[in-house]
Amino acid sequence: MRKISIYDTTLRDGSQTEGISLSLEDKIAIAKRLDNFGVDFIEGGWPYSNPKDTDLFAYFAKHKLKKSKIVPFGSTAHPAKPPSKDKNLISLIKADTEYVTIFGKTWDLHVKEVLRISLSQNINLISKSIEFLKKRKKKVFYDAEHFFDGYKNNPEYALKTVKAAHQAGADLIIFCDTNGGSLPWEVEAISGEVKKRLGLRNYGIHCHNDLEMAAANSLIGVKQGCSQIQGTVNGYGERCGNANLITVIPILAKKMGEKLGCSAQLSDLTHLSYYVSEICNMVHRDNYPFVGKSAFAHKGGIHIDAVIKNPLAYEQIKPELVGNKRRFIVSELAGKSTLVTKAKELEFDLDKKSKKAKEIHQLVQRLEKEGYQFEAAEGSFKLLLQKKLKKVKKFFTLLGFKVMIEKRQDNQLISEATIKLKIDNHLEHTAAEGDGPVNALDKALRKALIGFYPVLSEMHLTDFKVRVLDAKRGTAAKVRVLIQSQDSQEKWTTIGVSENIIEASWQALVDSVEYKLLKSRK
Amino acid sequence: MRKISIYDTTLRDGSQTEGISLSLEDKIAIAKRLDNFGVDFIEGGWPYSNPKDTDLFAYFAKHKLKKSKIVPFGSTAHPAKPPSKDKNLISLIKADTEYVTIFGKTWDLHVKEVLRISLSQNINLISKSIEFLKKRKKKVFYDAEHFFDGYKNNPEYALKTVKAAHQAGADLIIFCDTNGGSLPWEVEAISGEVKKRLGLRNYGIHCHNDLEMAAANSLIGVKQGCSQIQGTVNGYGERCGNANLITVIPILAKKMGEKLGCSAQLSDLTHLSYYVSEICNMVHRDNYPFVGKSAFAHKGGIHIDAVIKNPLAYEQIKPELVGNKRRFIVSELAGKSTLVTKAKELEFDLDKKSKKAKEIHQLVQRLEKEGYQFEAAEGSFKLLLQKKLKKVKKFFTLLGFKVMIEKRQDNQLISEATIKLKIDNHLEHTAAEGDGPVNALDKALRKALIGFYPVLSEMHLTDFKVRVLDAKRGTAAKVRVLIQSQDSQEKWTTIGVSENIIEASWQALVDSVEYKLLKSRK
């Protein structure tokens, strides 16, 4: 059985995402994580265009990865220079790797309007550049940039470019949907046609997500005989992103029965996705297929009821296979049985008929009436159960806080918080300034606690949401604050509700910190 | 040429998204917006299971939509009751609409393990329920729940259920991939086979996104002769969401050349997507196809260079077609003509080539970069134009304010604001307490001004919205405050942006008051 290889370009294409900026250390950490997971190839970067990437290859020349091959990326030679004088190609040789990837132009429009050379000159560039690399014993992946757009515009020319790469000795040709504008049936027809006409045994595919088709197009490639999928973790990438490997991998392994080098690590998928989002400093999307917080979350009463009878009823795969878990969302619509099920899911043993269950159910109902919404704040819900069902020692006692916002005539704005609390018998009274009143309070709270609970340095806040509940009351309206926090293992969300936004934020902040402290205590 | 109809279920399936909770007013606002855009059908909700939805249908029975048909959703009758006694079916009749949608079971596993009735009983339920509705002159959409999973497990039984619906007079049968676990080639093969065997002229498709295939599967349906696509704005929906109509619509219209009822409104697509995300209080994803902030953003130097030479080089469609715009991430460029058009609409005469136009354009660009969004705050935008284009006498000068929030050990909470301002030569220094810091500041400002401007007693605040902009920064994130005010003649919305929620609220409050004072002066 053939093996499909996974080629990750998070470090190169992924780092083009608006808002992502990776340091050398970040890149090394991600590469090591991908190696542990077992992807076949890791595109490390473009050493010629980015000095940081040169250092990355120097690092991995000394510290070999266990399983993955690291690959540098570059382009065909500059039109005005012979390959042997081309700094871009030379940087690929210097990267000291077994494999290299170069891209070349397939679309005549790009040759004429962007490179501004003749069509035959471009063919020549492709041949000469690949020959240069092959002579230096490199295995060469050739990215046929704009392959599908090029073929649609001028099929004969597109074929010629790919043929040139094939004849020059490219080890694999990758069909790229660079602008992400191709539809599945186009990918199917064009790949099939080209594979046949060139007599290729296999090929690779590199798709962008501008039509939300990147994953579908990649898999349709596999149906046609493609043996390599290029993509990124969480689908990061320029514009609308690249094919999301976190989606593609479990489909290949579990739905299509393909052989993958990383199959054995599948249950590590959710953690990989979180880890990379953490290093890229991107919010982990709740609705990510397979690994999102909501991917196996059931809300409607009918669905919850059916999933309890048989999970297959509303789940396309077992969540454990990809390292995720099933969740029942507690909402106002839910009865006491959902509450008990939910408690069980969170590893609390709660008898439906017990006095405790009744008490907690009434408490949750009362809080939801006040505007709390535990379906979006599982962290706070877990804390609530913990406090009601187990003995929890208090981490600290608040003696009071003050927050002061001052705007002066010179437009200067100051936010300051003072906080007084007791930890065991220590009195801690401290203060902090912040970017706003909530930030000042957040800082003051952490400052007061960190000496006693250094584990708090592992967590940070990743999301802060404010929702006005009864907007018609204007500035006197009740607000609901949701705070999402994250450490290297998980995300949790906590809630606060009050007419006073500072008080609501305070509740959510305290829950967030207590959640972390509780799980560290275990 | 056949027309593909767009069936939106944002209000029903979309509202199942974890974290989305829509009030009746929210639902009405979204339905009206969808009607303006011109979708063919709007699934308003499940009146039987949700009293809020009953009110929605009562509202639209009185206030007819211009273009869209509103549709209630329900299920086949309860096994123990005849259709005429089934409250769920009766609620559909009471909704008083031309069309209704019901779902029934296709998958034998669901019939046996969830409904816990016999296979033939289920067939009977489907027939009887549809006949009941048809006798009452309803046009009936039949959602074949778990159609693909059912077919994979027991094709003959799945066929029978759909055949029963067809024979009972269902006007359209919708093939549902309820668990979102189907791949494009499965959808293609199964839809084709069933269509042929039942002799259907057309059918609908309803896909979920658990494999990131919802858009691809919906479009593959269309290639097979499907005439209705069901989905939601921004792909909202339980777990990983539903087919994203915002992606599907432009592909149908522009890539596949299909005829749509909403084709003429395509350039309104980006605004629709933002509007719904705003009401749902969901972050608008930067990488949404077509409408995301990054969808036409170019970061890499090579890409920017090429796009300047020819936008086609790295763009799969013209951004204007969907109401989005091209962005170069290094330097922002936006449209001056939109500004001039908008100014004209607000009755300001602004020459596009004037120095003033340039100046205002630059100011607006700078403010939007900081997070202001004048689209949602026309009041503030009008004030800005007024101040730039006409001489406006200052109503007051702020000398400073202080806001203090104190939480004591006894849990008592106090919010107090002091304010110092000058009106002409009068110095006004006053203070107020409030339900929270913003309310205290609001009260203090009015108290300081009312003696000089009694007209302020005519206005009051009707809405107060807070939106966190760069949520990743946690409590140091920037927030955008929108305040809506009203007097007996009109409503106006004003905006403030700052890392400090008090400052952001202050800006919006001041704009709101100034807006009222300016119009009273005329």
Residue B4's alpha-carbon distances to B45, B204, B214, B230, in angstroms, are: 22, 9, 17, 11
Both B347 and B274 in one domain: the answer is: no
- pLDDT score for A1: 62
The DSSP bridge pattern shows strands A479-486 and A491-498 to be antiparallel
Question: What residue spans of A142-296 are helical by DSSP H?
Answer: 147-153, 155-167, 184-198, 214-223, 245-250, 269-279
How far apart CA B189 and CA B210 sit, in angstroms, is: 20
Query: If pLDDT is split at 50, 70 and 90, which confidence band does B376 have?
Result: low
B454: Cβ contacts below 8 Å, ≥ 6 apart:
none
Question: Is the CB of residue B290 less than 8 Å from the CB of residue B250?
Answer: yes
Residue B333 has pLDDT above 50, yes or no: no
Residue A335's pLDDT is what?
A: 66
Q: Give the DSSP H or E segment for A503.
A: helix A501-521
Coil vs helix vs strand at A269: helix
Mean pLDDT of all residues in A299-323: 85
Give residue-wise pLDDT tens across range A463-484: 788 877 766 677 777 888 888 8
Q: For B155, how many CA atoms within 13 A lie in the half-sphere containing its CB?
A: 10
Residue B454 has pLDDT above 70, yes or no: yes
pLDDT at B62 over 80: yes
What's chain B's length in residues? 522
pLDDT for residue A352: 82
- The arithmetic mean of pLDDT across residues B53-61, rounded, is 95
Averaged pLDDT of chain A:
91
In this complex, the residue of B288, B299, B401 whose CB is nearest that of residue A18 is B299
- Judged against a pLDDT cut of 60, whether residue B191 lies above it is answered with yes
Same domain, B364 and B434: no
- Check if the beta carbon of residue A162 is closer than 8 Å to that of residue A194: yes
Lowest mean pLDDT among B65-79, B200-214, B364-378: B364-378
Contacts with B281 from chain A: Cβ below 8 Å: 465, 467
pLDDT tens column, A401-451: 999 999 988 888 999 999 999 999 999 999 999 988 999 999 999 999 999
Same domain, yes or no, for B311 and B252?
no
| B380 assigned to some structural domain | no
Domain that includes residue B438, residue range: 397-520
Q: What is the pLDDT of residue B301?
A: 59
| SS3 state at B462 | strand
CA separation for the pair B316, A355 (Å, rounded):
62
Residue B458 pLDDT greater than 90, yes or no: no
Give me the amino acid identity at A6: I
Question: What is the reported pLDDT for B331?
Answer: 31
For residues A495 and A499, give the distance between their C-alpha atoms in angstroms, rounded to a whole number: 14
Q: Is the pLDDT of residue A222 over 90?
A: yes
pLDDT at residue B473 tops 80: no
Q: Are B111 and B117 in contact (CB under 8 A)?
A: yes
Please report the pLDDT score of residue A334 as a whole number: 55
Residue B115 DSSP label: I
For the residues of A280-299, what is the DSSP string, one character each?
TT-PPPTT-TTTSTTTTEE-
pLDDT band at residue B122 under the 50/70/90 scheme: very high
Determine, yes or no, domain membership for B381: no
Lowest mean pLDDT across B179-193, B196-210, B344-358: B344-358
Q: Which residues of B322-354 are buried (b: 16+ CB within 10 A; e: fewer)?
A: bbbbbbebeeeeeebeebbebbeeeebebeeee
CB A159 within 8 A of CB A117: no
Name the strand (E) or helix (H) holding B509.
helix B501-521
Mean pLDDT of chain B: 90
Residue B312 has pLDDT above 90, yes or no: no
> Last residue of some domain: A219, A245, A279?
A279
Instruction: Determine the average pLDDT of the residues in B450-457.
Output: 93
Those residues with Cβ within 8 angstroms of residue B459's Cβ, 6 or more apart along the chain or in another chain? B485, B486, B487, B512, B513, B516
- pLDDT value of position B127: 98
Residues of B in contact with A461 (CB under 8 A): 474-475
Task: Label residues B219-231 b or e (16+ Cβ within 10 Å = b).
Answer: bbbbbbebbbbbb
Whether residue B114 and residue A313 make contact (CB cut-off 8 A), yes or no, is yes
Query: Do B226 and B349 fall within a single domain?
Result: no
Question: How many whole angstroms separate alpha carbon B240 and alpha carbon A294?
Answer: 7
**Is B442 within 8 Å of B450 (Cβ atoms)?**
no
Q: What is the CATH number of the domain that holds A506?
A: 3.30.160.270
Cβ neighbours, 10 Å, residue A262: 23
* CA–CA distance, B355 with B351 (Å, rounded to integer): 9
Confidence of residue A173 (pLDDT cuts 50, 70, 90): very high
| Residue A246, C-beta contacts closer than 8 angstroms, at least 6 positions apart | A233, A234, A235, A269, A272, A273, A288, A289, A290, A291
- Residue whose C-alpha is closest to residue B453's, from B371, B515, B376: B515
Closest-CA residue to A139 (of A70, A242, A62, A224):
A70
Domain assignment of residue A187, yes or no: yes
Question: What are the beta bridge partners of residue A497?
Answer: A480
Instruction: With a cut of 90, say whether residue A289 has pLDDT above it.
Output: yes
What is the model's pLDDT at position B484?
A: 84
User: How would residue B334 be classed by pLDDT, with cut points 50, 70 and 90?
Assistant: very low
> Can you give the pLDDT at residue A522?
67
ipTM over 0.90: no
Write the CATH number for B358: 4.10.430.20
Q: How far apart are the first and last CA of chain A?
A: 46
On the question of pLDDT at A270 being above 80, the answer is: yes
CATH number at residue B270: 3.20.20.70
Over range A388-403, report the average pLDDT.
89
Q: Which residues of A touch B307 (CB under 8 A)?
A: none
How far is B44 from B101, CA to CA, in rounded Å?
A: 10
Tell me which of B206, B303, B361, B429 is the catalytic residue: B303
Is residue A84 included in any domain, yes or no? yes
Would you say B414 and B479 are in contact if contact means Cβ atoms under 8 Å apart?
Answer: no
In A, which residues are within 8 Å of B305 by CB distance?
114
> Which residues in chain B touch residue A180, judged by CB atoms under 8 angstroms apart?
316
Q: What CA–CA distance (Å, rounded) separates A105 from A158? A: 9
Alpha helices (H) along B77-154 = 87-94, 108-110, 119-135, 147-153
Over range A199-228, report the average pLDDT. 95
Q: What percent of chain B stands above pLDDT 90? A: 65
Is a pLDDT exceeding 90 seen at residue B308?
Answer: no
Maximum average pLDDT range among A382-396, B215-229, B408-422: B215-229
Phi and psi at B86, nearest 5°, equal -85, 115
| A273 and A311 both lie in a single domain | no
Count: domains in chain A: 3
Cβ distance A460 to A344 under 8 Å?
Answer: no
* Residue A471 vs residue A287, higher pLDDT: A287
| B119 contact partners, CB below 8 Å, separation of at least 6 | B108, B111, B112, B157
Residue A382 belongs to some domain of the structure: no
Helix axes A501-521, B437-449, angle to 10 degrees: 170
A375 found inside a domain? no
* Residues A405 and B506 sit within 8 Å (Cβ to Cβ): no
Question: Which of A184, A437, A502 lies closest to B184 in CB terms?
Answer: A184
The backbone torsions φ and ψ at residue A166, rounded to the nearest 5 degrees and listed phi first, read -60, -50
- Among A15-19, A382-386, B214-218, B455-459, which range has the highest average pLDDT? B214-218
What is the Cα–Cα distance from B499 to B508, expressed in whole angstroms? 14
Q: What is the per-residue pLDDT for A369? A: 74
Say whether both B30 and B144 belong to one domain.
Answer: yes
Is the CB of residue B479 less than 8 Å from the CB of residue B472? no
Please enumerate in sequence order all residues whose Cβ is within 8 A of that of A482, keeping only pairs 6 or more positions apart, or say none: A376, A377, A463, A464, A465, A466, A467, A493, A494, A495, A508
Domain boundary among B333, B354, B370: B370
Shortest alpha-carbon distance between residue B141 and chain A (Å): 21
Q: Which residue of chain B comes nearest to A215, CA vs CA?
A: B212
Average pLDDT over residues B123-138: 98
3-state secondary structure of A411: coil
Give how far the C-alpha of residue A318 lies from the chain's centroid of Cα atoms, to the nearest Å: 21
Q: Is the pLDDT of residue A327 over 90?
A: no
Q: Residue B472 above 70 pLDDT?
A: no
Nearest CA in chain A to B422: A409
| pLDDT value of position B116 | 94
Q: How far is A240 from chain B (nearest CA, A)?
A: 4
E strand or H helix that includes residue B468: strand B460-468
d(CA B56, CA B96): 11
CA A193 to chain centre: 35
Boundary (domain end) residue, out of A221, A249, A279: A279
User: Are B269 and B320 part of one and the same domain?
Assistant: no
Residue B264 lies in a domain: yes
B40 three-class SS: coil
Q: Are residues B263 and B305 in the same domain?
A: no
Q: Which of A178, A212, A281 sits opposite B472 (nearest CB)?
A: A281
Q: Do A181 and B313 touch (CB under 8 A)?
A: no
Please give the residue of chain B at the shortest CA–CA distance from A485. B474
Residue A230 has pLDDT above 70, yes or no: yes
List the single residue in B18, B473, B502 with the smallest CB-CB distance to A375.
B18
At residue A406, the pLDDT reads: 94
Q: What is the CA radius of gyration of chain A?
A: 28
Stretch (H or E) spanning A521:
helix A501-521
Report the pLDDT averaged over residues B502-516.
Answer: 94
Q: Mind telling me how many Å the CA of A66 is from chain B's nearest CA? A: 30
Tell me if A8 sits within 8 A of A2, measured CB to CB.
Answer: no
For residues B113-139, give the mean pLDDT: 97
Are residues B361 and B483 both part of a single domain?
A: no
Structure tokens at A16: 């083009």
Residue B141: pLDDT band (50, 70, 90) is very high
CB contact at 8 A, B303 and A224:
no
Residue B491, pLDDT > 80, answer no
Mutate to test the interface with A, among B23, B178, B179, B239 (most CBs of A within 10 A): B239
Instruction: Identify whether residues A334 and A416 lie together within a single domain.
Output: no
Q: Which of A496, A415, A421 is nearest to B407 (CA)?
A: A421
Residue among A73, A56, A95 at smallest CA distance from A13: A73
d(CA B440, CA B454): 20
Q: Which of A152, A132, A153, A156 is nearest to A142 (CA)?
A: A132
Regarding whether B149 and B17 lie in a shared domain, the answer is: yes
Considering the domain architecture, whether residues A10 and A79 belong to the same structural domain is answered as: yes
Q: Answer whether residue A381 is part of any domain.
A: no
